[in-house]
A and B are shown apart, each in its own frame.
Chain A
Amino acid sequence: MSIVTDTTRSRERIVIPGLRGLRSGALALGSGAVSLAGAAAILGVLWAIAAWQSELPGPISTMGTFWRLLRDPFYDNGPNDKGIGLQLLASLQRVFTGFALSALVAIPLGVLLGSNRIVRRFFDPVVQVLKPVSPLAWFPIGLVVLQSQPNAAVFVVFICSLWPTVINTAAGVSSIPESHKNVARVFQFNAWKYLTRIVLPHSLPYIITGLRLSMGVAWLVIVAAEMLSGSAGVGFYVWDSYNASNFEAVLSAILFIGIIGLALDRLFAGAGSLFSYPEVA
């Protein structure tokens, strides 16, 4: 099992052909708004059935709460009563801190792994073992090392968002065509020129894919970490609302989490399309 083969799988995972087909089919029908309305209608019906069969609140009462949260997102009535906007900002701040730190480590580490076969052979088992570890298992480690619950949440984000960027960067660097390497050798590129004119430009699309996957992981992980860490953040908000039996707030928060996650993913997808060069045969 090498890092590289693993990556192709994880890269494929984000391009789901079904979704592509669904999207183009919807576009053929008319507009994105039509398909969105259709999806909302299907979701609403299923939701209504689920609510009728259980103690979950239905779509209408939830939308009421959703609007109420959206109208006043930034109120602050002390540590246990803050608006959803403040909670989301607290989470986003942790996500970006953990994500930025992990990118600072992951990109150089990925370049190192991708450019040196010996380093790769040494590190590959480490990555393979650490990658599948559940985010929640890292939480106590973060607590022990950092002695602070919010910082432990950042630590969990950091650790979990390392791997996709490391693996994708390594895949990019190790796939530099022989012809580019020969150019660097014949024209006497020094290490800096080789890194900035060949390694990084070639790997950039891979790195952005890695960052995009890492951001997805970070956003997944923060909710779980904040349920453990408490204090603030959207994960804390979900757990706190559950304890207060405010299921409308829980469901609304899920919607907010989903919408922000989608926006973050689109952001990186947009960045990725800025840096694609047509490879010339």
Chain B
Amino acid sequence: MTAPYLELRGVGQSFGKYTAVAGIDLSVTRGEFVTLIGHSGCGKSTLLNLIAGLGKPTAGSIELDGKPISGPGADRGMVFQNHSLLPWLSVYANVYEAVDAVFPGRRPQEKQVKRDRVERLLRVVGLWEHRDKRPGELSGGMRQRTAVARAFAIVPRVLLLDEPFGALDALTRTSLQDELINLWSFDQATETVLMVTHDIDEAIYLSDRIVVMTNGPRATVREVVQVPLARPRERHAMLHTAAYADLKEHLLELLAERAVVGAA
């Protein structure tokens, strides 16, 4: 058993009188893919923002690799819910500016390394041909691919994804899920992934463990479920296994119960 890499102890976040999340305990080991699942408004995104360092928890502590998180850092890359690309920059510039901000080296050699990295990632997500387009000229799937490439481009240790594919159609979503898994297994530096979703199939297909949240306010961890499916996973074969069916049923039950739990 490896030591926890990301450790949340009694984390809570209140906005004035409103408590979004409370008493969150969670340990994530290095190299794990963990999904946070729950109904909308249950504070999943709040929790992810706290780990990203975009907010400070009002209770408890968050430690990454033994050090408390005090703000955003280049060790954590993030894909936002609304892709958050800068509309005046091309696909290439959106990714390059992030890399350049994190690795500010000015020497030609260093710049070449950055350019190579951007090119490689844009090729992996199939956007190299579209590198000069602005986000406004792209489809929703291409925008989110750019955002994923940008997050990987800064070589983060932890990747945070906030409902990254929520706004996409089912076909685009499945292909992006596969690309995400490819990038994750292919990129040795980025080992640990935390993803927020409300899609049960997505959670099962992608993660090692699924954290089911109770409903807000005062949302907390309802249960942490192991996904007993070996990698690499094959989407269609997976759908017909008993393990998958049991897991999905269990998750659905947990999510259906949450109203009762929330009221208690």
Which residues does A use to contact B, with CB under 8 Å?
179-180, 182-183, 185-190, 193, 197-198, 201-202, 277-281
Contacts and interface: CB of A to CB of B under 8 A. Distances in A.
A183 B136 contact: no
Contacts of A188: 72-74, 101-102
Contacts of A277: 87-88, 134, 136
Given A186-B52, A187-B101, A190-B101, 14 more contacts: A182-B78, A185-B72, A187-B98, A187-B150, A188-B101, A188-B102, A189-B97, A189-B101, A197-B89, A277-B88, A278-B134, A279-B87, A280-B135, A281-B82
Given A185-B54, A186-B72, A188-B72, A180 B102 contact: no
A137 to B, nearest CB: 41
Contacts of A187: 74, 97-98, 101-102, 150, 154
A180 B52 contact: no
Interface in B85-133: 85-89, 97-98, 100-102, 104
B84 interface: yes
Interface of B: 52-54, 71-74, 76-78, 80, 82-89, 97-98, 100-102, 104, 134-136, 143, 150, 154
B87 A197 contact: no
Q: Secondary structure of the A side of the interface? A: helix
A277 B53 CA distance: 30
27 contacts: A179-B80, A179-B84, A180-B84, A182-B54, A182-B84, A183-B84, A185-B53, A185-B72, A186-B54, A186-B76, A186-B78, A187-B74, A187-B102, A187-B154, A188-B73, A188-B102, A193-B97, A201-B88, A277-B87, A277-B88, A277-B136, A278-B87, A278-B134, A280-B83, A280-B87, A280-B136, A281-B82
A129 to B, nearest CB: 35
A213 B190 CA distance: 50
List the 10 closest A-B pairs by CB distance, nearest first. Answer: A278-B136, A201-B88, A187-B98, A179-B84, A277-B87, A185-B72, A186-B78, A280-B135, A189-B101, A277-B88
A277 to B, nearest CB: 4
A277 B137 CA distance: 11
A165 to B, nearest CB: 20
A180 B74 contact: no
Nearest to A187: B98
